[in-house]
Amino acid sequence: MKITDYELHIRKERKKLDAISNRIINELTLGESDVYRMCNATLIVVLCGKSGSGKTRSIEIANDRLPKNRKIAECHDIFDYKDAKAAFEVLPARYDDAPKYHDCEYVVYSLLDTETGKAMAANYPIVKVIFCENP
């Protein structure tokens, strides 16, 4: 049976989304470490990519792998920011300040602009940027 180009594309896309969802879970787990909790610090995960790059779908896949009481919410508070400093100022400074969503343990922020994502990754160590496409 021959695999069509479409099937190859779907398989490649699923592999990419699986890798991104695994990275999301790994970063959020790291953010739960005692070091962050003792300092009441929060590790902020930002998914960066254009519309249609897989940000929302990656969160959905990650949620499928997590227990019901530990789901991830997608936050659009910095979605269309073009300035890293301005975007960073919107993010919570402490774990207790992070937004709470019904039935969700974690929050991941979506960002469209790749250059802003690169600047946030370079300048703010508590921000872990996951690029959904090549930066």
| Owning domain of residue 13 | 5-131
SS3 state at 105: strand
The Cα–Cα gap between 126 and 112 comes to 19
**CATH number of residue 91's parent domain:** 3.40.50
pLDDT tens-place string over residues 90-102: 988 665 666 677 7
Long-range residue pairs from 112-115, CB within 8 A, at least 24 positions apart, any chain: 112/48, 112/49, 112/50, 112/51, 112/79, 112/80, 113/48, 113/80, 113/81, 113/82, 114/48, 114/49, 114/50, 115/82
Q: Which residues contact 55 (CB under 8 A, 6 or more apart)?
A: 47, 48, 49, 74, 110, 132
Say what the pTM is.
Answer: 0.85
Total domains, the chain:
1
pLDDT tens-place string over residues 25-74: 988 887 666 555 556 567 789 999 999 999 999 999 999 999 888 899 99
